[in-house]
């Protein structure tokens, strides 16, 4: 009966799209794709990663899973974790948060100090480093032990108790992160950092060191594909309104200065990390995580972008 109703297939019932078939096609395409991009090398812990790793994991809002390759192997999710800290901070601060961090695209490279100085220490959005550091400052003001609260939040989203920070990665960032230190001092000068600079940076470096697999990431982002509620348990993680707004921010700011490119070619809200991971969400349909460590010149996973572009092209489904 379902099969007779072609209009049905255009609807939100994602099971009718044959993701398995689509992923098979993508897997074949990937073989003919020239190897390109470079593994992030600014800290040794990232540089050591095998550039040929590849994982994909998609979870529909009906909880059907599709995966390819190294989808269960954990990697450094880096900036992707900024979505988790943002979700926590929105819940705690509500609209007050937007006095301290903007929601506009940055328009320049992800670590520029120019805009920050021009705009009096208020970062453009919560996904550039400066913005994520302000979000860490918010969490540091609200929680006795923000480090523990963040990881517990992610463990709850995924049901995996052993997700954790990498102390090696965090330590390495701590040793070399002079630009982040400069950014934080500048915001402190403007009064937009309330806690001690070193405490906030410690939390930030920890945040970026979290290690998760594609499967875990897709699971952790499922609430953003389901209006803020865990699709499996129905538990409300954030309100529908906050869920929509986090997605809007991901759409406009999730890919440094390649946000337009991603919206243009993929057409989904998402967030990338220099570890080579990308998470994207189709509201009402699915969440997906891909991992391929080699980055393009803008710092986003070269193959990850290709996979997601191919996925939305083949399904004829983007939010636009």
Output 30 or 103, the one with its CB closest to its own copies.
103
Is 102 a binding residue for its own copies by CB under 8 A? The answer is yes
Output 150 or 187, the one with its CB closest to its own copies.
187
Output 52 or 320, the one with its CB closest to its own copies.
320
The least distance separating its own copies from the CB of residue 24, rounded to whole angstroms, comes to 23
Output 156 or 188, the one with its CB closest to its own copies.
188
Q: Are the beta carbons of 200 and 193 closer than 8 angstroms?
A: yes
Q: Which of 37, 55, 69, 105 binds its own copies (CB under 8 A)?
A: 105
With CB under 8 A, what is the number of residues at the site for its own copies?
59
The least distance separating its own copies from the CB of residue 53, rounded to whole angstroms, comes to 29
How far are the Cα atoms of 1, 187, 199, 218 from residue 184, in angstroms, in the given order? 60, 5, 11, 31
Q: 299's torsion region: left (phi>0), alpha (psi -120 to 50) or beta?
A: left
Output 69 or 228, the one with its CB closest to its own copies.
228
Q: Which stretch binds its own copies (CB under 8 A): 23-31, 80-88, 145-153, 176-184?
A: 176-184
Q: Which of 123, 283, 293, 299 binds its own copies (CB under 8 A)?
A: 283
Is 248 a binding residue for its own copies by CB under 8 A? The answer is yes
Q: What is the 3-state secondary structure (H, E, C) of the chain?
A: CHHHCHHHHCCCCHHHCCHHHHHHHHHHHHHHCCCCCEECCCCHHHHCCCCCCCEEEEEECCCCEEEEECCCCCEECHHHHHHHHHHHHHHHHHHHHHHHCCCCCCCCCCCCCHHHHHCCCCCCCCCCHHHHHHHHHHHHHHCCCHHHHHHHHHHHHHCCCCCECCHHHHHHHHHHCHHHHHHHHHHHHCCCCCCCHHHHHHHHHHHCCCEECHHHHHHHCHHHHCCCECCCCCCECCCHHHHHHHHHHHHHHCCHHHHHHHHHHCCCCEEECCCCEEEEEECCCEEEEEECCEECCCCCEHHHHHHHHHHHHHHCCCCC
Q: Mark 262-281 with x for binding to its own copies (rule: CB under 8 A) and - for no binding.
A: -xx--x-x------------
Q: Mark 2-41 with x for binding to its own copies (rule: CB under 8 A) and - for no binding.
A: -----xx-xxxx----------------------------
The least distance separating its own copies from the CB of residue 74, rounded to whole angstroms, comes to 28
Output 68 or 97, the one with its CB closest to its own copies.
97
Output 197 or 232, the one with its CB closest to its own copies.
197
Site for its own copies in 212-241 (CB under 8 A): 240-241
The least distance separating its own copies from the CB of residue 73, rounded to whole angstroms, comes to 30
Is 85 a binding residue for its own copies by CB under 8 A? The answer is no
75 phi/psi in degrees, rounded to 5 = -145, 175
Query: What residue ranges bind its own copies (CB under 8 A)?
Result: 7-8, 10-13, 102-108, 112-115, 117-118, 124-125, 178-179, 181-186, 188-189, 197, 240-241, 243-245, 247-249, 251-253, 257-261, 263-264, 267, 269, 283-284, 313, 316, 318-320
């Amino acid at each position: 009966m379902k099969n007779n109703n072609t209009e049905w297939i255009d609807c939100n019932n994602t099971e009718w799209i044959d993701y398995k078939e689509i992923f098979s096609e993508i897997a074949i395409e990937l073989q003919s794709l020239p190897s390109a991009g470079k593994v992030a090398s600014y800290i040794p812990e990232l540089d050591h990663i095998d550039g040929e790793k590849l994982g994909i994991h998609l979870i529909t809002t009906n909880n059907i899973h599709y995966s390819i390759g190294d989808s269960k192997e954990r990697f450094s999710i880096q900036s992707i974790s900024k979505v988790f800290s943002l979700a926590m901070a929105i819940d705690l601060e509500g609209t007050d948060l937007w006095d301290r961090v903007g929601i506009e695209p940055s328009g320049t490279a992800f670590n520029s100090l120019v805009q920050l100085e021009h705009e009096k220490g208020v970062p453009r959005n919560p996904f550039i480093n400066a913005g994520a550091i302000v979000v860490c400052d918010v969490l540091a003001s609200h929680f006795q032990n923000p480090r523990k609260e963040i990881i517990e939040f992610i463990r709850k989203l995924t049901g995996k108790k052993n997700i954790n920070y990498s102390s090696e990665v965090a330590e390495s960032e701590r040793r070399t992160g002079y630009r982040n230190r400069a950014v934080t001092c500048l915001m402190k000068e403007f009064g937009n950092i309330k806690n001690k600079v070193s405490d906030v940076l410690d939390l930030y470096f920890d945040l970026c060191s979290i290690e998760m697999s594609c499967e875990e990431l897709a699971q952790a982002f499922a609430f953003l594909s389901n209006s803020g509620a865990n699709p499996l348990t129905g538990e409300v993680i954030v309100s529908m309104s906050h869920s929509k707004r986090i997605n809007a921010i991901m759409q406009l700011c999730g890919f440094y200065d390649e946000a337009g490119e991603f919206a243009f070619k993929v057409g989904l809200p998402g967030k990338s990390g220099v570890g080579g991971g990308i998470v994207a969400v189709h509201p009402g349909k699915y969440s997906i995580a891909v991992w391929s460590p080699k980055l393009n010149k803008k710092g986003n996973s070269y193959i990850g972008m290709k996979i997601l572009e191919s996925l939305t092209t083949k399904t004829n489904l983007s939010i636009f």
